[in-house]
Amino acid sequence: MLTPQLDSEQEIERLVRELGQIVRCADPEKQDDLKGFASTLVDQEFVLAGGSTRIAERQERRSMNPLAVGLGLLVLGAGLFIFVPAVALVLGILGLIGVVWGLGRSTNRNSHP
């Protein structure tokens, strides 16, 4: 006879396997979006059910778009240009790289329906 906790764990494992199978059967282009969607749904369910605060913190902590970092480096480089032109130039170049990377990433993400 299975304990209720062991039974619950096995049910969760079964559901995760089914979810993984659904994601793997989807178009390769949509798999990342489906993984994110599934993760968000699970996180929201635990947050709504009064789950761990770490889940809510993890959901709030998202990767920063390189566009924001690039713009910050450009502004910092422009401000330092009068005092330390060599450092400002390096920051400006890194900022431009970040801006281009962020724009490419945003455009690529928006082009997939």
* Tally of domains in the chain: 2
Pair (86, 38) in one structural domain: no
Mean pLDDT of 41-52: 64
Q: Where are the alpha helices (DSSP H) in 26-84?
A: 28-48, 53-60, 66-80
Mean pLDDT of 22-26: 82
Token pair of 102 as six digits: 């962020």
Range of the domain at 76: 66-111
Pair (71, 36) in one structural domain: no
Rounded to an integer, what is the distance from CA 40 to the centroid of its chain?
11
pLDDT in tens, 66-105: 888 888 889 999 988 899 999 999 999 999 999 999 888 8
Q: What pLDDT does residue 53 have? A: 53
Pair (21, 48) in one structural domain: yes
Pair (47, 14) in one structural domain: yes
Q: What pLDDT does residue 91 have? A: 92
Contact 66, 94 (CB under 8 A): no
Give the pTM. 0.44
Q: What pLDDT does residue 93 have? A: 93
Contact 38, 45 (CB under 8 A): no
